[in-house]
Amino acid sequence: MFVSGRVQGVYYRASTRDAARERDVDGWVRNLDDGRVEAVFEGPESAIEEMIEWCHTGSPAAAVEDVEVEYEEPSGHSGFQIRY
């Protein structure tokens, strides 16, 4: 998933991690050089859909313009981490 808008420097990654952990979703989130945030979510379909919906708003200081979702086969992530 790719999220664009004002999503860097506004605690978007940390908020995503917290939201994912609350929903027992595995995966990771990271900033991209082009200003977007990339995230991978794995878990129950209902929890993934909740995370996708959450990403449209994100952290309180974020201004999300677009969320691009791509579905792939799970790759076995354990826990949820911020990547640098």
Is 31 an active-site residue? yes
Distance between CA 31 and CA 23 in Å, rounded? 22
Is 30 an active-site residue? no
Q: Which of 6, 23, 30, 31 is catalytic?
A: 31
Beta bridge partners of 29: 39, 82
Q: Which of 13, 21, 23, 36 is catalytic?
A: 13
Q: What is the dihedral of CA 46, 65, 10, 28, to 10 degrees?
A: 40
Any idea which residues carry the catalytic annotation? 13, 31
